Amino acid sequence: MDILNETFFDNSIRNWGISIAIIIVSFLVLKILKSFIYKRIKKIAQKTSTDLDDFIADIFLHIRIFFLFALSIYFGSLILTLPQTVSTVIGKLVIISLLIQGGIWGLGIITFFLEKYKKQKLQDDAAALTTFSALEFISRIILWTFVLLLVLDNLGFNITTLVAGLGIGGIAVALALQKILGDLFASLSIVLDKPFVIGDFIIIDKHLGTVEHIGLKTTRIRSLSGEQLVFTNTDLLESRIRNFKRMFERRVVFTIGVTYQTPHDKLAKIPQIIKETIESKDLVRFDRSHFKEYGDFSLNFETVYWVKSPDYSVYMDIQQAINLELYAKFEAEGIEFAYPTQTLFIAKESNPNDSPGEKN
């Protein structure tokens, strides 16, 4: 057994064997302990209505193998006499694995609270989905940037100089990716200012449709004809957007024209006939009706009323009922609707040889 006492890298072979055994046993014990605690908490979580115990169970579930292995190596190294450099490397290995594991736990915490809050908000606010997607994306970037800086600091890098260098490099990258970053910030503007949300019916210039998706770079709209329209977020914010989903009432202006042969007394009745017709309908508020102008071929009456519903189908049903009833009432009154006509007056030229009193 003298071979066990032989020295190898300042440690006996016996100590090396014990160290390896500690590493293996520690790894197996930690892995079994992780699985046991997770199953116990998960079993308890199934009997409760709170989400907190499910979250704690997920914390144990997301303990990574590399973290357990790094801890096992650290435990095994305690029995050995190692050079200062090796001890430092092992210590940094454990710290770095702990930082990465902490990043994974932090990501789980962010996801847990955002998902919990999202469930509460989605019922009342369709824009919450976009908001939380953007917040989760930004939170991931901030978290892993922080973890990366801590890892680099433990590896001996001067992060003060690095951060300054990243600032200069960030300016160059920002200039190169100006369009993409513009769309990203435009997305955040849409999320925070909410000019529209998913499900809104909007009109952008000559395009119209229902908002289906608001992403970090583009927004997708389903048009009335069925195809999907894709806009960059920057283009959207630079356009004039008409949001019909937020319209509480619809203002309606329409004009009708009657013939010039209509008698004065019947002309005077027309505004009252239109008013009575509109006020007899549900979900409307009459505003005014006036003899507006002398047209090219008609006497024009302009009428304004409000539909107490933003639904386009409701508006069309009401307008159709008004048109039909006005047609019947005008027919009963003998009032004729005008249509484009022209009257030609032909004057016969006189013969200069005719005497003043002579007629042809």
Average pLDDT, the chain: 83
Q: Which domains does the chain have, with CATH numbers?
A: 2-151 (no CATH), 182-245 (2.30.30.60), 250-333 (3.30.70.100)
The pLDDT of residue 223 is above 80:
yes
- Give the C-alpha separation, 296 to 88, whole Å: 96
Adjacent-strand bridge partners of 285: 306
**C-alpha 186, offset from chain centre:** 11
β-strand partners of 307: 250, 284
Considering Cα of 184, then 232, then 242, then 201, what sign does the dihedral take? negative
Quick check: 19 and 80 in contact, CB under 8 A?
Answer: yes
Single out the residue of 86, 58, 60, 54 nearest to residue 73, CA to CA.
Answer: 86
Tokens for 206? 């000559």
- Residue corresponding to tokens 């007899």: 280
- pLDDT tens digits along 293-349: 999 899 999 999 999 988 888 999 999 999 999 999 999 999 999 988 777 778 766
Sign of CA dihedral 123, 125, 129, 135: negative
Task: Tell me which DSSP letter residue 335 carries.
Answer: P
Q: Is the pTM higher than 0.75? A: no
Listed residue (223, 245, 151, 237) closest to 188, CA to CA: 237
Residue 280 one-letter amino acid? S
What are the residues whose beta carbons fall under 8 Å from the beta carbon of 231, sequence distance 6 or more? 204, 218, 219, 220, 221
Tell me which residue has tokens 């009745």: 269
The tens digit of pLDDT for each residue in 75-86 reads 888 888 778 888
Q: How far apart are CA 189 and CA 198, in angstroms?
A: 15
Q: Which helix (H) or strand (E) holds 307?
A: strand 299-307
Q: Give residue 353's pLDDT.
A: 63
